[in-house]
Structure formats: structure tokens, C-alpha cells
Structure 1
Amino acid sequence: MSAGALDDMGDGVARTAEPRQPAAPVSRRQLARRVAILRAASELGAREGLVGVQMLDVAKEAGVAIATLYRYFPSKTHLFTAVLEWHIEMFLEGYREAATADGASDVADTLIALTVKLLDSPLLASAVALSSFTEYASAIPNRYDIADSCLGLTILRLLGIREPRDQDRSTIRLLLYSWWGLFVAAQTEETSPQQVEADLRLAVRLILAPYGDRNA
């Protein structure tokens, strides 16, 4: 059985998580419920870590029925993967990078600032990192391309790319996978924050070298 196949109901009872796509909220009320769930999971994850969070507690904290929670997030893995994506989106909405002629430098600054922000809450950072190591991707094969994520699109914009080619998208994927590896290394304290920043700047410079300056 896969690592993500069993999930607790929040009451100590194991349940089998259906390998299906989470329901997509469409109305304002549904969107508000989803945000309430993500906020509640974030607060509980920051205090308890992934193992300590019970799905029933998330539902109670968010003020929704447990069935509603499982409709949007079939497992705790789905939930904390969405928490990570939500935190990245919120960060990028509030972050205003000082654009320069050097797109690669702007990308590095953005990724470093994001890493620092995510690591501000160690237990929550651990929760989203642990969730990423489950078999979520194999259970839900229709996830979006990471190049189309909010972070991927931001990097394309910083590089001045409005109509990305396949090669551009592959480059963004490679860069984001490199960033994620360094984020995990920092979260597990395998390397120092200073070394993570230096390695990230090097990775950005090497991977984005073919793009050069935006104004070139």
C-alpha cells in the first residue's frame, strides 16, 4: 500500500484515501471555505507539525464539516501540498521585487526571499516538505505542470518571457526542482542558510545563463 493510501479521520480511525482529484471550489462561499481550511491547517501545522495535525481538528478550526474538508482535500497530503501552494501564492502577491536589467538576479532574490519566509515557521515548513515526499503525484496523475504554477509564471515574467517555448518551460522546471532541493536541505538543517543562499544564486546563474540580461 502506498504511503498516502491511509489517512486518519482525525478521531484515530484509519481510512483509505480515494485516489481522486480534490473538488474545485467555484462559488465565493466555497472559495472562502477553502481558504478557511488552508488557514486552519497552516496554524495547526505551525504548532503541531504534520504528524500532530488531525483532519477533524482542521475541520473544527475552519468551521466546516469533516465531509467538506475531505471533499476539497482527500488526504492530509493533499491538504499540506495545497497549504504550500497557498503560502507561495500569498507571498508572491505581497512581494514586490525591485526589477533590474538582470533577470537572473531578480529571480534569485525572489526565491531567496520566499525560502526565508517559508522557513519562518519550522514545523509548517517540515509539514509541507514531508507531504511532498509521499506518492501524491502518482495517486493524482493530473496535477498541473509546475511551470504553470504561480511561482513558475512569476519567474517567466521576471525573465521577460511572455510566450514560453518548451525549452523555457523545461528550464523553469529544472530551476524550481533545484530550489526545492535547497529548501528541503535548509529545512532539515543539512546546510546553513548562508550556504543555501550562495548555492541558490549559483544554480540560478547557471540554469538561466542562456537568457542573459533582459535588456541585452
Structure 2
Amino acid sequence: MGDDVARPAEGRQPAAPVSRGQIARRVRILRAASELGAREGLASVQMHDVAKEAGVAIATLYRYFPSKPYLFMAVLEWHIEQYLGGHESGQGNGRKNLAPADADAAAEVAELLITLSVKLLDSPLLASAVALSSFTEYATAVPARIDIVDSALGQAILRLLGADEASETDRSRARLLIYGWWGLFVAMLTEEISTEEAETNMRLAARLLLTP
């Protein structure tokens, strides 16, 4: 059996890093997978190669990431978190800080999601790797998933909306925006629509969902 086949997690959740050393190992794994995915694409990346590149034992890799699809979904989340960190601090991407309360929230949210797509598409092979992983069934190995609104991206959207105490309607809007963004991202990746069409559609979606 090749090491690309997902190893069963026996109903257990992936280990959560606690110590600084564990957190550093997890980041090394994510960085290694990201670099390998960007060079080789999902099909060519082997879990043993990721472990070797990260300098960890294969058992350690599987403890944090039960399967290759799960690993590359974590890579996607990691890249989003890094992008959002730069966006919110105004560093590294030439983008302005979060909008003041009286700014056009719909335009700000659309801009955030559009520039995130462009950033991810800078590396087409890695973008393909995370997109393909999202379509792979791995829920049986990792049964509990957080609500996407509680992800870094969901929380960033709620902050842009000024929703300190988000209502269920706020959360539903954020959820729909993320799902809409993801669909447009995949359509851009597969060249079903142009970048310009995707940007227009994203702005329209944000306007329709967020304008009172």
C-alpha cells in the first residue's frame, strides 16, 4: 500500500499541538507540504516526502494530519491565515487595513476575497492541490469539522461587517460568501470563467448578501 492512501484515524481527531515545539513541527509540516505541492502537484506528493522535508517522523505527520487531503486542506487554511494576518496588519500585500465602521462593508469583503483568490492562484499547482483535496471524502477519518464561519476567513468577514456579536443572520451571510468565493475560486482555477468575471460576480454576491 502506498503512503498516499489515507490511514484510518479510528474515529480520533488529529492531535492538536500544544507546546511551542509541537506548534513549530506542525508549521514545518505545513510549509513542507506547501512547497512540495507547489512544485509537484497533489498526485506526485508523497506523505513520506513531506515528513522527510519537514524533518519529522512519518508517525508524527499522520498524528497531526490523518490523510493527504486533510493535510492539504490544512495547508489552505494556513495560507489563508497568513494572508489575513498581513491584510489586517497592512503588511506585505499593499492592501489597506480593515475598513472603518462607516465604510462600504460589501466592497471591503469583496476586495478581501478577490485578493485572496489572486494570492492563492500565484501558485497554480498548489491551488489545484488544495482544490482537489476539498473534493476528496475524508470526513469519515476526521468526523468533527468546525463551522466554516468559525474559520479565520469567516471571522475576518464578520470583523469587516462590524459584527462583534454576530447574529445567526450575520453568520449565514458570512457562510454564503465563503461558499460563493470558493466556487468562484475553483471556476477561476479551472478556467471556466475569467478573473474579471469572477471579480464581477464576487462583488455582486457581496452586494446582494450584505446590502440592507
4+ aligned runs moved over 4 Å, structure 1? none
Query: Would the aligned equivalents of 2:7 and 2:66 in 1 still touch at CA under 8 Å?
Result: no
Q: 2:29 aligns with which of 27, 37, 44?
A: 37
Q: 1:146 aligns with which of 139, 145, 148?
A: 148
SS in 2 for 1:137: coil
Task: Give percent identity, aligned residues only.
Answer: 68
1:166 matched residue in structure 2 = 168
1:213 matched residue in structure 2 = none
SS in 1 for 2:166: coil
Query: Would the aligned equivalents of 1:40 and 1:61 in 2 still touch at CA under 8 Å?
Result: yes
2:67 matched residue in structure 1 = 75
May I ask how many residue pairs the two structures share in their alignment? 201
SS in 2 for 1:52: coil
Code of the residue aligned with 1:17 in structure 2: it is: P
Query: Would the aligned equivalents of 1:9 and 1:55 in 2 still touch at CA under 8 Å?
Result: yes
SS in 1 for 2:42: helix
1:9 matched residue in structure 2 = 3
Distance 2:140 2:178 in 1: 19
Are residues 1:58 and 2:50 paired? yes
Q: CA deviation at 1:109?
A: 0.8
1:20 matched residue in structure 2 = 12
Code of the residue aligned with 1:87 in structure 2: it is: H
Deviations 1:85-137 (A, max 9, x none): 00000000011334251111111111111000000000000000000001123
Deviations 1:127-156 (A, max 9, x none): 000000011235423111110111111111
Distance 1:192 1:128 in 2: 20
Are residues 1:199 and 2:201 paired? yes
* Residues 15 and 104 (structure 1), Cα distance of their counterparts in 2 relative to 1, 3 Å cut: closer
Distance 1:141 1:207 in 2: 30
Query: Would the aligned equivalents of 1:147 and 1:169 in 2 still touch at CA under 8 Å?
Result: yes
CA root-mean-square deviation: 1.5
1:4 matched residue in structure 2 = none
Query: Would the aligned equivalents of 2:37 and 2:45 in 1 still touch at CA under 8 Å?
Result: yes
Q: CA deviation at 1:15?
A: 6.0
Deviations 1:20-66 (A, max 9, x none): 31110000000000000000000000011000000000000000000
Say which is worse superposed, 45-54 or 162-171, in terms of deviation. 162-171
Distance 1:31 1:189 in 2: 36
Say which is worse superposed, 89-98 or 50-59, in terms of deviation. 89-98
Distance 2:167 2:138 in 1: 28
Matches within 5 A, 1:81-120: 81-95=73-87, 96=90, 97-98=96-97, 99=99, 101-120=103-122
Distance 1:15 1:200 in 2: 34
Q: CA deviation at 1:164?
A: 0.5
Query: Would the aligned equivalents of 1:8 and 1:15 in 2 still touch at CA under 8 Å?
Result: no
Query: Would the aligned equivalents of 1:44 and 1:58 in 2 still touch at CA under 8 Å?
Result: yes
